[in-house]
Amino acid sequence: MAKRLIVIGAGPMGLAAAYYAAKRGLEVEVIEADDRPGGMAAHFDFEGLSIERFYHFCCLSDADTLALMGELGIADKMKWVATSMGYFVDGQLYKWGEPFSLLFFPKLDLISKIRYGLQMFTATKRSDWRKLDGIAATQWFKDWAGARAYDVLWRRLMELKFHDYADRVSAAWMWQRIKRLGNSRASLFEERLGYIDGGSAALIEALVTAITAMGGKIHLSSPARRILIAEGRVRGVETREGRQIMADEVISTIPTPYVPALLEGAENDLLAPYRRIENIGCVCVVLKLKRSVSSHFWVNISDKRVAVPGLVEFSNLRPLPHAIVYVPFYMPPSHPKFGRADEDFIADSLLAIRLVNPDIGADDLIGAHVGRLRHAQPVCETGFAALIPPAQTSIKGLQIADTCFYYPEDRGVSESIKFAKGMVERAALRAQA
């Protein structure tokens, strides 16, 4: 009889795990809290436009997404576009992200520019990250490019994204982000990013179709309440409604801050690492506008007048009938601003947009949507490599991971897919034994 696997969470990691496990002959059930699959990459209906709640782009290095799309027969949906980046500093928008823009950037002296350019260039070539794990990203920036470059280019971005954690974020994590984006280029002068035709939902839907075609089941609006354990091995999962689904293997892919509640009564040794990892939340505003803010896909903002680190004009990547701009507000869920009304975040977003492009007026706004996540970004602090527990827990048959388990890689769809493959490999080997 086929061994049974329960996957908790139907984000990219959970669905990829279910897909690869079903292919390996396991009987699969996926339990998802939300009313839709996709996790952080899920779509919503933006007045007739199906689009991600949180912006999603692909990089040329996203090999595991590309391979999975090939297997699912949707490889042709990946589209690559020449994109550009801007930097809005003290009231002025500058082109950014290639050697000439750095050369002509008026806010830094030549020596700082050379030091900054060297840091970015060597970061894209580097592969050893162990030393960077012990260094704070803020220190790494200052050591390479100098205090002035840090103040102009990084300080505001770090403080607005990580708040009190800004000086604790590991350089290894930051380096990996810079490398992924820095290498997604057709040439030194041309950035190249990807989107999926139809959005991330095209990949999510193809996964759901493939899983169910292989006999797998996906339960939506059905949060896991408890992981069932007896005599040192996993037995199954109990859902919020009290239904117990028995299994030989369980893979949890939900954000680790939620894990201790599912393992109530477990030994502190097992729970402590999940309690130790901190996360930043995100309130992400999506605006539909009558006209474009700029020609750039991404605009970093360093301007004291707005508490916004950047704008993502998604319609400059994926062709859409209107200008679609994402404005992310990152902050710990305990931050007093996290619970503010949607209207306040929308008003702040419009303020930032009108700073960057004063021609945009209130009547250019067609629609707005606000998405919230309590655990959107793990804080990968210095020494983080030693804080991550093994995905295979001390409980036989139980694996637990989330987006910080593939540190120093940043959270990403492709990385979650790759990690899922490794977990399924272990479960499948046990099933064969």
Binding footprint of ligand FAD on the chain (CB under 6 A) = 8-14, 31-34, 39-41, 54-57, 223-224, 253-255, 258, 282, 284, 328, 373, 376, 402-403, 411-414, 416
- Closest separation in Å from C-beta 91 to ligand FAD: 26
Judged by beta carbon, residue 135 or residue 387, the one nearer ligand FAD is 387
Q: Is 194 helix (H, G, I), strand (E, B) or coil?
A: strand
Judged by beta carbon, residue 37 or residue 397, the one nearer ligand FAD is 37
- Closest separation in Å from C-beta 208 to ligand FAD: 12
**Side-chain-facing half-sphere of 171: CA atoms under 13 Å:** 21
Dist. CA 193–CA 58, nearest whole Å: 6
- Closest separation in Å from C-beta 237 to ligand FAD: 8
| DSSP 8-state assignment for residue 314 | G
- Cβ atoms of 35 and 53 within 8 Å: the answer is no
Dist. CA 219–CA 14, nearest whole Å: 12
Q: Which two tokens stand for residue 187?
A: 């040439």
Q: Which two tokens stand for residue 201?
A: 């939902």
Does an H or E element contain 327, and which?
A: strand 323-331
- Closest separation in Å from C-beta 27 to ligand FAD: 19
Judged by beta carbon, residue 225 or residue 396, the one nearer ligand FAD is 225
Residue with tokens 């004063």: 358
Judged by beta carbon, residue 9 or residue 408, the one nearer ligand FAD is 9
Residue 184 has phi, psi (to 5 degrees) of: -90, 75
Judged by beta carbon, residue 218 or residue 355, the one nearer ligand FAD is 218
- Closest separation in Å from C-beta 114 to ligand FAD: 30
- Cβ atoms of 378 and 278 within 8 Å: the answer is yes
Q: Which two tokens stand for residue 193?
A: 């990013």
- Closest separation in Å from C-beta 311 to ligand FAD: 13
- Closest separation in Å from C-beta 36 to ligand FAD: 8
DSSP string, 74-122: -GGGEEEEEE-EEEEETTEEEEESSHHHHHT-TTS-HHHHHHHHHHHHH
Long-range contacts of 207-213 (CB under 8 A, 24+ apart): 207/15, 207/16, 207/18, 207/19, 207/37, 207/68, 207/72, 208/15, 208/37, 210/19, 210/22, 210/72, 211/15, 211/18, 211/19, 211/22, 211/28, 211/30
- Cβ atoms of 20 and 339 within 8 Å: the answer is no
Judged by beta carbon, residue 261 or residue 272, the one nearer ligand FAD is 261
Dist. CA 401–CA 253, nearest whole Å: 5
Judged by beta carbon, residue 86 or residue 310, the one nearer ligand FAD is 310
- Cβ atoms of 53 and 43 within 8 Å: the answer is yes
Judged by beta carbon, residue 239 or residue 302, the one nearer ligand FAD is 239
- Closest separation in Å from C-beta 131 to ligand FAD: 26
Judged by beta carbon, residue 70 or residue 361, the one nearer ligand FAD is 70
DSSP string, 26-53: -EEEEE-SSSSS-GGG-EEEETTEEEES
Judged by beta carbon, residue 13 or residue 102, the one nearer ligand FAD is 13
- Closest separation in Å from C-beta 145 to ligand FAD: 25
- Closest separation in Å from C-beta 322 to ligand FAD: 20
